[in-house]
Amino acid sequence: MYEDLKGKVAIVTGARRGMGKVHALKLAQEGVKVVVSDISEEDCQKVVDEIGKTGEEGLAVKCDVSKKKEVDELVKKTIEKFGKIDILVNNAGIAQFKPFLEITEEEWNRTLDINLRGYFLCAQAAAKEMTKQKSGVIVNIASVAMGQQGVGFPNLVHYCASKGGIVGMTEAMALELAPLGIRVNVVAPGMIETPMIDPIKQDPKAMEGLMARVPLKRVGKPEEVSNLVLFLASDTSSYMTGAAVVIDGGWLAG
């Protein structure tokens, strides 16, 4: 579908399951060589095996995005194997449901370390490689929980803070990286069917309340978000940078 993606090299973080896995598989279907990274290398290898069945090449790399050493190693292994990085999908994230008054400093730090500092570390390391070829695309996965025009979520204060940070960081990065040929955008999903929303699904009343606010009256599918990631990764979106694109079944329009 996107001819220009053929032969490109992408890193997807948090790709052992959920949306990251689907982004990795969808990119591979477009002819992209995908580095599948997450905390569990074994699970990443399973995704790479699936990619192999489509005839594309992949690479599994263990990487905790909150650890600079592991992020640097991720980039090094990508360059060793494929020689370049064209696309980074910053996707790894955690959502810990806990009342604001009970969140400990350690829990706050852990969420921000993975969801925000991890995005910074990966983006910076990848962008240093992208500048060498004067081209590249970074897609940062935030959420409708990004604040401002987004929605607030009780029991997710640290998560919301991290997702809002991604939007501000992306805008500033886009300004600095535009002259270097690198585009940076945000994808802000609403409620998407992945293991991350299992705790919400356990409370049918909460789920009902949330769905009442979504005009399309359903949870989104990871594939639907991947379609947007592919569009932003391809040259089809060549005039887009610094943007935050919402994909939420109409939630924020309500």
Binding region for ligand NAP (CB under 6 A): 13-14, 16-20, 38-39, 63-66, 91-95, 114, 118, 141, 143, 189, 191-192, 194-197
Q: Are 33 and 11 in contact (CB under 8 A)?
A: no
Q: How far is the CB of 158 from ligand NAP (least distance, A)?
A: 12
Nearer to ligand NAP, 14 or 165 (CB): 14
Q: Indicate the residue among 118 and 164 with the shorter CB distance to ligand NAP.
A: 118
Closer to ligand NAP by Cβ: residue 137 or 188: 188
CA distance 117 to 67: 9
Q: Could you tell me which residues come within 8 angstroms of residue 144 by beta carbon, excluding any fewer than 6 positions away?
A: 150, 151, 188, 189, 190, 246, 248, 251, 252
Shortest reach from residue 223's CB to ligand NAP, in Å: 12
159 given a catalytic annotation: yes
40 close to 17: Cβ distance less than 8 angstroms = no
Q: Which is nearer to ligand NAP, 19 or 137 (CB)?
A: 19
C-beta separation of 112 from 214 below 8 A: no
Shortest distance, position 120 Cβ to ligand NAP, whole Å: 13
Closer residue to ligand NAP in complex, CB, 39/135:
39
Task: Give the residue closest to ligand NAP by C-beta.
Answer: 18
In the complex, the smallest distance separating the C-beta of residue 64 from ligand NAP, rounded to whole angstroms, is: 4
Distance of CA 34 to the CA centre of its chain: 14
> Residues 2, 119, 159, 239: which is the catalytic one?
159
Collect all residues with Cβ–Cβ distance below 8 Å to 54 and sequence separation of at least 6.
25, 28, 29
Per-residue buried b or exposed e for 81-119, using 16+ beta carbons within 10 Å of the residue's own CB: ebeebbbbbbbbbbbeebeeeebeeeebeebbbbbbbbb
Q: How far is the CB of 244 from ligand NAP (least distance, A)?
A: 12
Place of tokens 């999908």: 89
Active-site positions? 159
